[in-house]
Chains A and B, each alone.
Chain A
Amino acid sequence: MNEQLVLILPELVLTGGLCLLLLSDLILQRRRIWETGVFSLGLLGVVAYLVLQRFEASPQDAFGGLLCIDRFSALFQLVISVAAGFAIFLNLQQYRFPEDRGRIETQFLFLCAALGGFVLVGTQHLMMLYLGLEMVGLCSYALADVHKRDRAGAEASMKYVVYGALSSGVMLYGISLLFGLGGASFAMPDIALGINQALVDGEAVRVLLPSLLLLAGFLFKLALVPFHWWAPDVYQGTTIAMAGFLAVGSKLVAFGALLRTLGVLFATSLHGVETDMDLAVVTAAASEYGAVFGMVLAALATVSMLWGNLAAVGQTHLLRLLAYSSIGHAGYLLAAIALMSPDGFTAAGTYALIYGVASLGAFAAVFAIAMRAGSKDLCDWAGLGWKYPLAAGTLVVFFASLTGLPPTAGFAGKWRLLMALWAGGAQGLALLIALLSVVSLFYYFRVIKQLYLERPEDNFMPAVSVRLPWLTGFLLIVSFATFALLNLSWVEVPVAAATADLIRG
């Protein structure tokens, strides 16, 4: 038992730390938001360091397969740590503005959501998966309106809860069906065997229906059509820090979990695992089914990327715009997953990380401008690029990366994605992504145009002038990373290693 506990040391440290944080709120006489913030960030740093150690060790299971300790989970656990740290950091920045006094619960909830993410990507067990998903979800519902300040926040939180409940119910139904399919087991490898048996018996519908229902939970978290409706409303209503967490942390961790689920459940169609059945028969059935499932995913991806990018075109609210664009990006990711091949998984993972970096930067830069300008509406942003040169300048970099323009990492990521799609026979999707990049250029650079080329209206005066040195430093570092990651191998090699662990069988 002892060595099992050592295996999950990062999770234990995180749990202990967040309990301490919660206790400190009771014990401390007055609110010490900065001290606890530094503690939370430090805690995440330590956890991230411990997670890094998992890259060195060989993959293994803890607690009889409830948790998998491998490079794949480590990669996405790092991502969620960074995203949670980012959100806490941005929240601390928010307290510099007079109307916000801050709550320690916010930090606690972000840490808790991170812990949920750790479970979510680190399991091959459907019940644990569901628990992780709900843990991230419940924290997010609370975080969407943690300030309890205005009706928009309450509305956002309400919608998110109702929507989450809906998709969670659908997913749970799917899990229950899979439970039966796997011979009364939640372990994904068992279910994979059951799926193979069903496919060989020619009962593809018995597999298809539950897997689509299971997919619903992921679609919700990834904000993919038709489970995307909550995204614009919630992004608009909640804080920018929370929106950033939703767009990067919760989205990428769900993406990781989706990769693992597909990778294990449909392992046969991906690379052919050993079974006691006739391998040729199983492989034939599985790859036939995999093609159909891939087609469903490709259809979802197509609709999502069209929907996200086109709806973003006329959008003037910055966070709604980012919400729609993140729907589009999730569509790109799903397009690569739909290849149902290791190369597609690697390409999607690479793109996801590069998207994550640029997206973090974009949310931070939008925060730096919007908070000081006192408006998240594009119409009020005219000429602000000259007033906040650093935030606006770095925003150009991040938007360029999200568009996929050459000197930034976004170009490399999109290039890798398109190459994978092209090589995988999805030329139509590749062309569509290239076309939609042009569309995205339009709506991203409309913001830039507004920042630099339009004259400010005379009657609009930015409300607060607050210096944000830490945020400025953060923006500079992330924009540097956005350029540095043009060296694709820095991202792709770890992702490829992680996906290799994923399909170890």
Chain B
Amino acid sequence: MPTADFFPLLLAVPLLPLGAWLLQVLFGKGLPRGGDWLSTGAMLGAFSITVALYLRAYGLGEEAEFFVWSSESEQGWKWLVSHEGMNSGLANFRAGLWYDGLTAPLLAMVAGVSFLVHLFSTGYMQGNSRYIAYFAGLSLFSFAMLAMLISDNLLFVFMFWEVMGLCSFLLIGHDSMDLKRPRPRAAAASVKAFLTTRVGDVALLLGLAIVWNGFGTLQFHELAVAVPDMIERYQGWPNWLETAGLLIFLGAVGKSAQFPLHVWLPDAMEGPTPVSAMIHAATMVAAGVYLMARSFPVLAPGVLAVIAVLGAFTAFFAATIALTQDDLKKVLAYSTISQLGYMISAIGLGSPDGALFHVFTHGLFKAGLFLGAGAVIYACNHKQDLRKLGGLRGRMPVTYVSMLLCTAAISGVPFLSGFYSKDVILAFAAQGWGGGAGMVAMLPLVLLGLAAPLTVLYMFRMFLLTFSGEPRSDHARAAKEVPLPMSLPLVLLGFGALFGAMLWFAKPYPSNAAHEVAVILASASLALGLFAALLFFQFRKLDPSQVAAALGPWSRGARSLYGVDGFLHSTIVLPVLALGRSASRFDRRIVDGAVHGIGGLAVWVGAQFRRLQSGHIQRYLYLTYAGLLILILFALWRVR
């Protein structure tokens, strides 16, 4: 592949939204329509480039690492590189671009979804009092994700990861500063999202430090071939690799909303709905999975086991909560957590390719679902309670078809995109990790298998309650189809849900036997879930509340989110706050006192120096000769 002309094109992909962000922040007020066309246009440009690159890459087929732009070739960036003799420490950090068979479709998906979200927002956010700030934030968000996807090293991934954390904070809390209807809950949700992911970020940074210390590099292609022969460097600490892996994983737990740090994601629904689409499909949460997939070579077997089980558990756990939610967006939020559980579990099961495959297809159909939900909410005058919706099929036909396709895709209907990617994950689960057998090795399969029919059930519950039956409120009765800038993304994403799986190059399946198990499992769960959903919510042969009563405490637990939020609040948030208050007292009284004391000393000494600077040249000369004399005496004393 001729790499030289790739470089500027690839670099333009993140720089376009960055430029749009900069222009909007600086000149947004002066631009017509607040410059939404600028950021949307920039995203369209970035998307076109990614598609062009994708098409060129597609011709090269499944050769996964067909193109690596690392800093090995001379066109990368070197940072603090010294030419000689400084090969230790933080020296010789190099950064470059990275583009391979996994990046190609992901980059195009992220750019495409971001573009569609931008386009959708031009309709959805119309009339918002902070329209410019919204689009600026969206552009920066897209920039960070795109830049992260083409970084060739973990440090840059971490930097853009942090930018994304900031953007999610700004966008989730966007409505809290609305001039007409400020929403304090949005502010609380944004703080929660920021701080919860921060817990993971701190762990991640520590993990990266250990990896750097152990391998001396953070570049993917070097990590992939690196051998952890540095164990003697950590005398008395043989488990450093495991520790690093767990710390990195904790970063992904925060970002990709895995149990127990998943609590921020449902709250993040306070943000505008297109932002949710952005966070859930293209950016934020996908970053955690991407990080794990890229750092896969350094994950120790024990860490992989933890990842597989925790991911599978999250998938099941969130699915049960999703069943009980009445808020349209909350159902989707828990479904995201559940699907992320699948992806994370796939990493643990040894299939980073499968995980990214699911990121890809999930990005398409989850963006469709969220934008569809946004369209419903927009049409129903910002009502999002499932109990107040219903009967929208005839009123919003485009949204209906698009949502149906996306719901079918996430449920795993054969030949739709979600079917293929989930199939890979289930196949790896059926294989068990390390090829081993036994109860523990099969645990992910059991949990993921249980989550599969639940997924179908809660998704079709959401779908049927929204679109079928009779409207259950005046708002739903008055709903009309949304305008073109909003419906066009829905149509395109509907197609994405339909054909998305074909766009992924590499489809790595494990052995045939495991694959057969997966197909049978997927089909059975689809049939089971669909049957139950239709029975409950379409034909109304069964009453969900009776089933809930029969399940008793479990149902109540799921409805109260299993008390995770409250538990975290009382065991972590409150003690940390108390610690913070006492630390603040210590800081004010003792640390500040010391700092002011030293600062005062410096100021005083400086003032004495300046007093000598009297302006009289005669005195200067005296002082100079005196200084020279002292210098000579000092030197004579030393030379003896």
Q: Is B89 an interface residue (CB 8 A)?
A: yes
Contact B80–A493 (Cβ < 8 Å):
no
- B interface residues, tally (CB under 8 Å): 38
Contact B617–A159 (Cβ < 8 Å):
yes
A229 proximity list for chain B (CB < 8 A): 613, 620, 623-624
Stretch at the interface among B298-306, B405-413, B522-530, B604-612: B604-612
Q: Is B590 an interface residue (CB 8 A)?
A: no
Contact A442–B636 (Cβ < 8 Å):
no
Q: Is B127 an interface residue (CB 8 A)?
A: no
Complex: how many Å from CA A496 to CA B602?
Answer: 36
Contact A412–B624 (Cβ < 8 Å):
no
Stretch at the interface among A109-117, A142-150, A244-252, A304-312: A304-312
B89 to chain A: closest residue by CB = A419
Chain B min CB distance to A338 (Å)? 13
Stretch at the interface among A24-32, A74-82, A204-212, A366-374: A204-212
B437 proximity list for chain A (CB < 8 A): none
A162 to chain B: closest residue by CB = B617
Contact B606–A314 (Cβ < 8 Å):
yes
Q: A163-B617, A212-B631, A226-B627 are in contact. List 13 more A-B contacts (CB 8 A).
A: A158-B617, A163-B624, A208-B639, A225-B627, A226-B626, A226-B628, A226-B630, A293-B635, A307-B609, A311-B613, A313-B603, A343-B85, A489-B83
Contact B631–A232 (Cβ < 8 Å):
no
Which residue in B85, B607, B621, B628 is a CB contact (below 8 Å) of A162? B621
A293 proximity list for chain B (CB < 8 A): 635
Contact B624–A296 (Cβ < 8 Å):
no
Q: Is A483 an interface residue (CB 8 A)?
A: no
Chain B min CB distance to A105 (Å)? 25
Q: 9 interchain pairs (CB within 8 A)?
A: A226-B628, A227-B624, A232-B613, A292-B638, A315-B606, A423-B86, A487-B77, A488-B81, A493-B83
Contact B635–A292 (Cβ < 8 Å):
yes
Contact B80–A412 (Cβ < 8 Å):
yes
Q: Is B553 an interface residue (CB 8 A)?
A: no
A419 proximity list for chain B (CB < 8 A): 82, 86, 89, 91
Q: Do A212 and B79 form a contact, CB below 8 Å, given A226-B624, A311-B610, A311-B613?
A: no
Chain B min CB distance to A269 (Å)? 14
Contact B606–A311 (Cβ < 8 Å):
yes
Q: Do A300 and B631 form a contact, CB below 8 Å, given A159-B620, A229-B623, A312-B606?
A: yes
Q: Is A62 an interface residue (CB 8 A)?
A: no
Chain B min CB distance to A182 (Å)? 20
Q: What interface size band does chain A fall in?
A: 35 or more
A343 to chain B: closest residue by CB = B85
Q: Is A299 an interface residue (CB 8 A)?
A: yes
B83 proximity list for chain A (CB < 8 A): 489, 492-493, 496
B474 proximity list for chain A (CB < 8 A): none
Q: Do A496 and B621 form a contact, CB below 8 Å, given A311-B609, A487-B79?
A: no
Contact A299–B81 (Cβ < 8 Å):
no
Complex: how many Å from CA A319 to CA B634?
Answer: 33
Contact with A along B77-120 (1 / 0, CB 8 A): 11111111110010100000000000000000000000000000
Q: Is A33 an interface residue (CB 8 A)?
A: no
Chain A min CB distance to B311 (Å)? 36
Complex: how many Å from CA A212 to CA B606?
Answer: 27
B77 to chain A: closest residue by CB = A487
Q: Is A170 an interface residue (CB 8 A)?
A: yes
Which B residues are within 8 Å of any A CB, using their own CB? Answer: 77-86, 89, 91, 599, 602-603, 605-607, 609-610, 613, 615, 617, 620-621, 623-624, 626-628, 630-632, 634-636, 638-639
Q: Is A415 an interface residue (CB 8 A)?
A: yes
A212 proximity list for chain B (CB < 8 A): 628, 631-632, 635
- Which residues 134-176 of A sit at the B interface, judged by CB distance below 8 A? 158-159, 162-163, 166-167, 170
Complex: how many Å from CA A488 to CA B91?
Answer: 11
Contact B635–A489 (Cβ < 8 Å):
no
Contact A487–B84 (Cβ < 8 Å):
no
Contact B85–A439 (Cβ < 8 Å):
no
Q: Do A310 and B634 form a contact, CB below 8 Å, given A226-B626, A315-B610, A486-B79?
A: no
Contact A488–B82 (Cβ < 8 Å):
yes
A205 proximity list for chain B (CB < 8 A): 636, 639
Complex: how many Å from CA A159 to CA B615?
Answer: 9
Contact A226–B631 (Cβ < 8 Å):
yes
Contact A296–B617 (Cβ < 8 Å):
no
Complex: how many Å from CA A307 to CA B627?
Answer: 13
Cβ-closest 7 pairs across A and B: A226-B627, A229-B620, A310-B606, A311-B609, A313-B606, A204-B639, A311-B606
A474 proximity list for chain B (CB < 8 A): none
A230 to chain B: closest residue by CB = B620
Chain B min CB distance to A59 (Å)? 19
Contact B602–A489 (Cβ < 8 Å):
no
A307 proximity list for chain B (CB < 8 A): 609
Complex: how many Å from CA A496 to CA B83?
Answer: 8
Contact A163–B620 (Cβ < 8 Å):
yes
Q: Do A208 and B636 form a contact, CB below 8 Å, given A487-B78, A492-B82, A496-B83?
A: yes
Q: Is A501 an interface residue (CB 8 A)?
A: no
A166 proximity list for chain B (CB < 8 A): 621, 624
B82 proximity list for chain A (CB < 8 A): 416, 419, 488-489, 492
B638 proximity list for chain A (CB < 8 A): 292, 295-296
Q: Is A61 an interface residue (CB 8 A)?
A: no
A232 proximity list for chain B (CB < 8 A): 613
Chain B min CB distance to A394 (Å)? 15
Complex: how many Å from CA A391 to CA B610?
Answer: 29
Among B77, B607, B621, B628, which residue has the most Cβ atoms of chain A within 10 A? B628
Complex: how many Å from CA A429 to CA B599?
Answer: 20
Complex: how many Å from CA A493 to CA B82?
Answer: 8
Q: Do A489 and B78 form a contact, CB below 8 Å, given A212-B635, A225-B627, A226-B628?
A: yes
Q: Is A218 an interface residue (CB 8 A)?
A: no
B80 proximity list for chain A (CB < 8 A): 412, 415-416, 488
Contact A170–B628 (Cβ < 8 Å):
yes
Complex: how many Å from CA A232 to CA B617?
Answer: 12
Chain B min CB distance to A344 (Å)? 12
Chain B min CB distance to A485 (Å)? 12
A296 proximity list for chain B (CB < 8 A): 631, 634-635, 638
B84 proximity list for chain A (CB < 8 A): 496
Q: Is A198 an interface residue (CB 8 A)?
A: no
Q: Is A382 an interface residue (CB 8 A)?
A: no
Chain A min CB distance to B243 (Å)? 28
Complex: how many Å from CA A314 to CA B607?
Answer: 7
- Which residues 88-102 of A sit at the B interface, judged by CB distance below 8 A? none
- Which residues 423-457 of A sit at the B interface, judged by CB distance below 8 A? 423, 439, 442
Q: Is A289 an interface residue (CB 8 A)?
A: yes
Q: Is A216 an interface residue (CB 8 A)?
A: yes
Chain A min CB distance to B337 (Å)? 36
A233 to chain B: closest residue by CB = B615
Contact A442–B599 (Cβ < 8 Å):
yes
Complex: how many Å from CA A229 to CA B86?
Answer: 38
Complex: how many Å from CA A488 to CA B83?
Answer: 9
Complex: how many Å from CA A296 to CA B82?
Answer: 28
B610 proximity list for chain A (CB < 8 A): 311, 314-315
Complex: how many Å from CA A493 to CA B86?
Answer: 13
Complex: how many Å from CA A439 to CA B610?
Answer: 16
